[in-house]
A and B are shown apart, each in its own frame.
Chain A
Amino acid sequence: MNVPLIRTNGLKKYFKTPMGELHAVDNVNISIQKGQTLGIVGESGCGKSTLGRLLLRLLDVTEGEVLYENENIIAYNKNKMMEMRKKMQMIFQDPYASLNPRMTLSEIILEPMKVCKTIQDKNEMFEKVYDLMKIVGLDERYVNTYPHELDGGRRQRIGIARALALDPQFIVCDEPVSALDISIQAQILNLLMDLQEERGLTYMFITHDLSVVKHISDEIAVMYLGQCVEKAPSEELFKNPMHPYTKALLDSIPLPKLGKENKLKEVIKGEVTSPINPKPGCRFAARCSRAMKICTQKDPKLKDYGNEHFVACYLCK
């Protein structure tokens, strides 16, 4: 068994609020093999974006380890982390807010190279900018345009080019296509998949959209209120969802098809419970139609059900 490129160990992030402790990420263990994509799926408030940022140390970890090639990067000092940053990058959700409105396209792509001093020669830097633009499908003539002059799809391509500027091995994609039109989404997803094939990139793909995640992920982890409730290879998860939340999530997706099998089945009732000072027990119990007594007493743990399929639920035998 190969050493995974990146994995987490008991990762926790708690925020202090006036009302108590907010459990944004609670004891999450994931691992991603080199060249693979792990999809992280969940709705707002599940902690997926926080998880992505913890991996890149854009947020401080409350507890736990992030192991890159088996070394705990949480313990790294500033200099070592600088080196690390060249290997791990992020693509952001909002193509409008993730680019500095006062910098031109080339300046944005150059910036990481300038900061990390990966290339000293100015001409070489510009050659690389043009290369990257070509790779992500941006025409040369946009080299001196400002972000606001371009549409969402092109802006997102700039974000991708910027993420590639340091030749990273691992990229966290935080909802990279959620803000784009469907036809542009498809273009960008294809681009990301092509890049992965050509460069052997490893992705953590965060999204709320199950149909998108299926296409790009090898493995998927479903998150709810800071915890991972189910984890399985992509095909397996869709064929055989076991956790009630995963099932509800799949059932809630309105399919672009007619017919009886499309009419939405039983929708989940109620709202997400508060992540502040959560009580012991399964966090989905309040909304689960089949909750049992034990569900509100003890936290269920992730158990292996074969086929690399893990579920945290007392209903599963």
Chain B
Amino acid sequence: MAEITVLAKKKHVKKRSQMKSIWFRYKKNKLAMFGLILFITMTLVAIFANFIVDYEQVAIKQNISNKFQVPGKDHIFGTDQYGRDIFARIIYGSRISLFVGLVTVAIALTVGTIIGSVAGYYGGKVDNILMRIMDVFLAIPHMIMAIAIVAALGQGLFNLLLAMSISKIPQFARIIRSAILSVKSQEFIEAAKACGTKDSRIIRKHIIPNAIGPIIVQATLHMATTILGIAALSFIGLGIQPPTPEWGSMLSDARDQMRYYPYLVIIPGIAIVMAVLSLNLIGDGLRDALDPRLKN
């Protein structure tokens, strides 16, 4: 790159990334690291699930003779009422949870950022209209809205994604709008305007990079609530349909057997807790690492 050529001639100091110092601070937070390792493990397991257990044979195929096997050496987590290996179902279930969690947040973040940026940067009537629309969505409890959307549009992965992201867009829009408001009034934005910088460039290059901290933190926390949300929807039968394994529906299926085979409930429950916990720890850790200490 031209930059490095010219600068290399002058023996410049290597550009020290701000990322490095954020990572450095994050590393020191033991809980946050635990959360990160846990989450990475779960992600890897989800991605490489194929190599760990076979989908059709183990997670889906029913084997009544094998039913209700308590966790032991053949089946680490036991089997359910259809003889399916719970360990396999948990692993494949993580794919759904993590995938939907990620995509939902990605959609909500993108749309929310556009809405929030425009509202925050331009203010006035535009801000008012956009935020009032967001308020209407926020006034509806988001699980109920998700339920309503799925009920109206029918079940399926796509509709599930749609339902979950729509309910999250207003929250992201709000956060991004307030982040932008706090940066907008700073003098370096005025300085950019004094050179005639276009609005889009100001938002892109000057405002968003400075507002990204709270946005990232919220994103991780929302992933956690999305996972819970999917589990809840599946629990009441509106989420992922059987026989596809999903933690929430596994809980639902196990409801009647709880008293006799508590492991059927405990194990999916723990999986949900671990996913949500790891994301919360990452979110908290990021918030601390991105803290105002960056300014000192």
Residues of A participating in the B interface, judged by any CB pair closer than 8 Å = 53, 56, 58, 81-82, 85, 89-90, 92-94, 96-102, 104, 111-112, 115-116, 122-123, 126-127, 130, 140-141, 143-146, 148, 159, 162, 166
Per the bound structure, the CA–CA distance linking A98 and B210 in Å amounts to 13
CB of B125 within 8 Å of the partner chain: no
Q: Is the CB of A100 within 8 A of B210?
A: yes
Which residue on A lies nearest to B6, using beta carbons?
A: A126
Per the bound structure, the CA–CA distance linking A89 and B16 in Å amounts to 30
CB of B65 within 8 Å of the partner chain: no
Which residue on A lies nearest to B188, using beta carbons?
A: A100
Specify which of A58, A92, A101, A123 is in contact with B6 (CB 8 Å cutoff): A123
Which residue on B lies nearest to A102, using beta carbons?
A: B209
Q: Is the CB of A98 within 8 A of B188?
A: yes
B18: A residues at CB distance < 8 A: 102, 146
Selected A-B contacts with CB under 8 Å, 13 pairs: A53-B190, A56-B194, A85-B196, A90-B191, A98-B186, A98-B191, A99-B188, A101-B210, A102-B209, A123-B6, A144-B15, A145-B13, A146-B16
Per the bound structure, the CA–CA distance linking A123 and B5 in Å amounts to 9
| Residues of chain B in range 1-15 having any CB-CB distance to chain A below 8 Å | 2-3, 5-7, 10, 12-15
B195: A residues at CB distance < 8 A: 85, 89, 111-112, 115-116, 166
Per the bound structure, the CA–CA distance linking A143 and B15 in Å amounts to 9
B193: A residues at CB distance < 8 A: 58
Residues of B participating in the A interface, judged by any CB pair closer than 8 Å = 2-3, 5-7, 10, 12-16, 18, 186-188, 190-198, 201, 206, 209-210, 294-296
Q: Is the CB of B191 within 8 A of A126?
A: no
Q: Top 3 A-B pairs ranked by shortest CB distance?
A: A98-B187, A122-B2, A112-B195
A144: B residues at CB distance < 8 A: 7, 12-16
Which residue on B lies nearest to A148, using beta carbons?
A: B295
Per the bound structure, the CA–CA distance linking A159 and B295 in Å amounts to 18
Judged by DSSP, the binding face of B is helix
B192: A residues at CB distance < 8 A: 100, 111, 115
Q: Given A92-B191, A127-B6, does the pair A140, B186 have CB atoms closer than 8 Å?
A: no
Q: Smallest CB–CB gap between B34 and chain A, Å?
A: 29
Q: Is the CB of A140 within 8 A of B3?
A: no
A162: B residues at CB distance < 8 A: 191
Q: Smallest CB–CB gap between B23 and chain A, Å?
A: 16
Which residue on A lies nearest to B206, using beta carbons?
A: A100
A89: B residues at CB distance < 8 A: 194-195
Q: Is the CB of A143 within 8 A of B194?
A: no
B13: A residues at CB distance < 8 A: 141, 143-145
Specify which of A93, A101, A123, A140 is in contact with B12 (CB 8 Å cutoff): A140
B12: A residues at CB distance < 8 A: 140-141, 143-144
A143: B residues at CB distance < 8 A: 7, 10, 12-13
B188: A residues at CB distance < 8 A: 97-100
A53: B residues at CB distance < 8 A: 190
B187: A residues at CB distance < 8 A: 92-94, 97-98
A126: B residues at CB distance < 8 A: 2-3, 6-7
Per the bound structure, the CA–CA distance linking A97 and B182 in Å amounts to 12
Q: Is the CB of A90 within 8 A of B294?
A: no
B190: A residues at CB distance < 8 A: 53, 58, 90, 92, 98
Per the bound structure, the CA–CA distance linking A123 and B193 in Å amounts to 25
Per the bound structure, the CA–CA distance linking A255 and B15 in Å amounts to 46
Specify which of A90, A96, A101 is in contact with B194 (CB 8 Å cutoff): A90
Per the bound structure, the CA–CA distance linking A136 and B296 in Å amounts to 24
Per the bound structure, the CA–CA distance linking A144 and B187 in Å amounts to 21
Q: Smallest CB–CB gap between A122 and chain B, Å?
A: 4
Q: Smallest CB–CB gap between A204 and chain B, Å?
A: 13
Specify which of A111, A141, A148 is in contact with B294 (CB 8 Å cutoff): A148
